[in-house]
Amino acid sequence: MRLATWTGTLLVVALLTLSTGPSLANQEDPYAPLKRFSQVLDLVETNYVREVPREELINGAIRGLLQDLDPHSMFMDPEDFQEMQISTSGEFGGIGIEISIKDGRLMVITPIEDTPAYEAGLQAGDLILEIDGQSTQDITLLEAVKKIRGPKGTKVKLTILHNLEDSKPETLAISRATIPILDAKSEILESGYLYLRLTRFNENTTREMRAAIKQAEKQTPIKGVILDLRNNPGGLLDQAVSVADSFLAKGNIVYIQGREENSRKDFDAHASSSDVEAPMVVLINAGSASASEIVAGALQDHNRALLVGERTFGKATVQTVIPLSDGSGIKLTTALYYTPSGRSIQAEGISPDLIYPFEQPREKDERGKVMRERDLSGHIETNNGVEHEKKSEITDKAKELLARDNQLRMALQLVKKLPDLSQIKGSAN
């Protein structure tokens, strides 16, 4: 008991020493906080229950410092820093999921299309409660990434809550795969109507998108474009600017503003012979974040495209990646970005011009099939009908995309009726 009393007394004395208000001299000393930190560091090194290397303590302090700023500022040790560089330029072993920390919870921003996470049914907004049986409470973003990524063929178990009102979490065992960084996909939906799907904004996004446009132009003149930014978590600022520039001939695309008044930087569009001038519809949802919102906001503000879908995620902060001398690095929020009209959509998101929620596709049911004349046995064919079929012939892939996606079907109908989007929008204002 005497030993316990003595130990408790030492703890109280130490706490009183740390909690005592600063003296008048300390209030005028800019280095007082650093002295306090040094004092705590010395106490931990001397009295903590186990020995901890000083480098580990310092890294933990830096990590905590940045983590308390906002959800996107973070410290990366050399291994984490290398992983970050891979995720924007190469490929990695994982399940294909973008995650973030929101209100202390690990949340799915979006599953990447055609990856194990996407096939397993993970959705934007899902909460990850456990990783391999371990709670994600108070987990850092980088710790979560480390736990979820791994060699191809291995499995990770995620306990998922699909809806806050759902009291029954679901545990999914998902096999990891090599996740390639494929940013742009395309499909001709009907003759002249191009569907462009951007899954993220990495180093090759604009190049891949423009190659897809060029390939489509070889097949048929482009009469309309559907740009799909749903579940696109964003990425590199310069790629967002160059993607938007592909559809704008002039004007501001985005500007960023740091803490100083003179730190504003504008990014403008430039006319090019390769600019796409066809009418556009842009699909967005709650998984559209960051760079996706830059593109959507620019096209909306310039009346260049009609936005269809649901309100976006609302991330309007700019992070600067700063390497440190030992191979580690930090990602620091250094500015906010604004759409051309001066909107900051931070924590608000971009509202579409037409709110049109996604509906899960129904399984095919012959009993509910709508019968038309062409379905009747022995119906009369005409030359006009045959010519029409040839003219509107589409691939099986396009048919499947349209059959399973009500938002895409609506976008196709709209883009076909927008020969001059600016006039239509102008008359509505």
> Averaged in consecutive runs of 10 residues, what is the pLDDT profile of the chain (429 residues)?
37 41 61 93 95 94 93 89 68 84 86 88 91 92 88 94 79 90 87 95 93 94 97 93 98 97 96 95 96 98 97 95 94 96 94 95 52 51 47 74 94 88 48
Cβ–Cβ < 8 Å for 195, 175: no
* Confidence (pLDDT) at 8: 39
Cβ–Cβ < 8 Å for 122, 108: yes
pTM: 0.72
* Confidence (pLDDT) at 14: 39
* Confidence (pLDDT) at 63: 92
Domain segments of the chain: what residues? 78-180, 184-355
CATH 3.40.50.300 corresponds to the domain 184-355: no
For 258-312, list the strands marked E by DSSP.
265-268, 280-284, 306-309
* Confidence (pLDDT) at 429: 47
* Confidence (pLDDT) at 163: 75
* Confidence (pLDDT) at 192: 95
Q: Which residues contact 246 (CB under 8 A, 6 or more apart)?
A: 206, 209, 210, 213, 272, 274, 275, 276
* Confidence (pLDDT) at 88: 59
User: Do 78-180 and 184-355 have matching folds?
Assistant: no
Residues forming the active site: 290, 301, 315
- Domain spanning 78-180 has what CATH number? 2.30.42.10
- With tokens 């740390």, the residue in question is 18
